[in-house]
Amino acid sequence: MALALPANAQTAPIPKVVTKDGRHALLVDGAPFLVLGAQVNNSSNYPAALDDVWPAIDMLKPNTVMVPIAWEQVEAEEGRFDFSFVDTLLAQARANKVRLVLLWFATWKNNGPNYAPAWVKLDNTRFPRVITADGRTLNSMSPHAQATLDADRKAFARLMRHLKQVDLQRTVIMVQPQNEPGTYGGVRDFSPLAQKQFDSAVPQALLAKLGKRPGTWKQVFGADADEFFHAWHIARFIDQVAEAGKAEYPLPMYINAALRGPFNPGQPGQYASGGPTDNVLDIYKAAAPHIDALTPDIYMPEYTHYTTVLERYSRPDNALFVSETGNREEYARYFFSALGEQAIGWSPFGIDFSKYSNWPLGAKAMTPETLEDFALNYRLVAPAARLIAQASFDGKVRGTAEQPGKPVQTLKIDERWNMVVTYGVPQFWFTGEPPGNPQPIGRALVVQIGPDEFLVTGAHARININASEPKRGDRQIYEYVDEGTYDVDGKWVFRRRWNGDQTDYGLNFSSATQLLRVKLASY
Ligand code: N0T
């Protein structure tokens, strides 16, 4: 051959998000990957702090750890970059055999620029903040300032360039530019610069996306105009940051949302106005073509709230990734609901032993006991994670979590099979009304791997797979129920066959780590 191979010819492909038939996959090393995530606390982004991270990671056993990279720590002085923490983090992540998602805490870290360097956050002239309608200055950056965009994206692009150089093995699989962007305490920027744009025409791309006729923001959107305008401009800002980063190194990038209540949202400004809340997802889609997903951070423990959020962010044009969720016990089971909504990943927040707790969002204390509720999830699915990610991409995954007061759930698998999950019943026999578990901790997963063949797992639940047609149901038996696991090469390793009491009343899951391959038949 005349041409030399490129230096990185042997490296894995760059991760990417792909979509087919309205379903999504995150490809890592060229195949669908399920993010079993763990996000560290907000200030755990220093080498010394990592000492409190790895012991918790070792107990939870995620496959991906999510860690902030602060603008202030990489560009404390304008134009001088220091990526030494990134290098330390990459080395330790590899040693601990986990992938990384990096969180770029910059212009917006929950409303404010507190993670921006002093030369940014203390210079309100060069980097202006949002001005309210009554003339107050908020601690939230205006999305209209070219200087802020230029400075943020320059630093972000340098980060991505650095990553491209030091991460040929693709330890980093996704990047989150900003964190829960949006503004609290005001609906939008009312500075003269912002007002001038507000009074001009709505961009064509947005009109086309929403099927609206031309006009000013007020004319087109009426009462929603202020919020939609802010959302559009924040999304455009972040999209340009992402675009510059992807030009250096095109990793998947997503924007996480501080949610508004799904049923009683309140007013923009009470929730983060201009962030990717459920009412502005279409605006973000039009404004941010370089963003691969809009992701919910779910801190709503109530069942219908949680599952409604999952449904709203799982769309043919949006891969569901639960980028943060509470680390209290009651949240653990919702990992299975997320899988049932075709999630590409899920991550509890606050996973380290720095002894910080964000209670009441999360647990009162981060302890080994707290982690165990979540570790069970990952023990159950980790050996099959690749298989599940592929099956999810093919629409073959059903998952659910226990809803208080609803001890029986029925999910349609396909035209031939239903999955019935019962909570709170003994493992042996039982007739009568199922009571549900004392606490709603049940969870169930069924992955269809053949016409009559399933991978089944769960916890604190009884799972039955029933023929939808009664005549076939009457003669339904198991050909086999095999407990086992998958080895690192994805080969099934048989442990034992379940039969007799273990199958006569359904497949009963406790807190044991049990993964079943089940084949149904009829005599
Ligand atoms: C999250 C986290 C971290 C009852 C909170 C959630 C993380 C950020 N924000 O610990 O700060 O960086 O993304 C805000 C949720 C407020 C909801 C209160 C509703």
How high does pLDDT run on average in the chain? Answer: 97
Per-residue model confidence as pLDDT tens digits over 346-368: 999 999 999 999 999 999 999 99
Q: Which pLDDT belongs to residue 11?
A: 83
Ligand 1 centroid to residue 359 C-alpha, Å: 10
The closest residue, in CA terms, to atom 9 on ligand 1 is: 258
Per-residue model confidence as pLDDT tens digits over 26-49: 999 999 999 999 999 999 999 999
Average pLDDT over residues 383-403: 98
Per-residue model confidence as pLDDT tens digits over 127-152: 999 999 999 999 999 999 999 999 99
Q: Which pLDDT belongs to residue 3?
A: 45
318 SS3 class = strand
340 SS3 class = helix
Ligand 1 centroid to residue 425 C-alpha, Å: 36
Largest Cα–Cα separation, the chain: 79
Identify the bridge partners of residue 298 per DSSP, sorted by sequence position: 325
Domain with CATH 2.60.220.20 in the chain: 400-522
The closest residue, in CA terms, to atom 19 on ligand 1 is: 299
- 79's CB contacts (< 8 A; 6+ apart) are none
Is residue 316 pLDDT above 80, yes or no?
Answer: yes
152 lines ligand 1 (CB under 6 A): no
Q: Return the CATH architecture of domain 400-522.
A: Sandwich (2.60)
Ligand 1 centroid to residue 356 C-alpha, Å: 14
Is residue 159 pLDDT above 70, yes or no?
Answer: yes
336 contacts 445 by C-beta, under 8 angstroms: yes
249 lines ligand 1 (CB under 6 A): no
Q: Return the CATH architecture of domain 16-30+50-114+145-184+226-394.
A: Alpha-Beta Barrel (3.20)
Q: Which of 345, 252, 343 is nearest to 35 (CA)?
A: 345
361 lines ligand 1 (CB under 6 A): yes
Residue 10 binned pLDDT confidence (cut-offs 50, 70, 90): low
Domain with CATH 3.20.20.80 in the chain: 16-30+50-114+145-184+226-394
Q: Give, rounded to a whole angstrom, the gap between the first and last alpha carbons of the chain.
A: 62
413 contacts 465 by C-beta, under 8 angstroms: yes
Ligand 1 atom closest to 256 (CA): 13
Average pLDDT over residues 181-185: 98
Average pLDDT over residues 71-81: 98
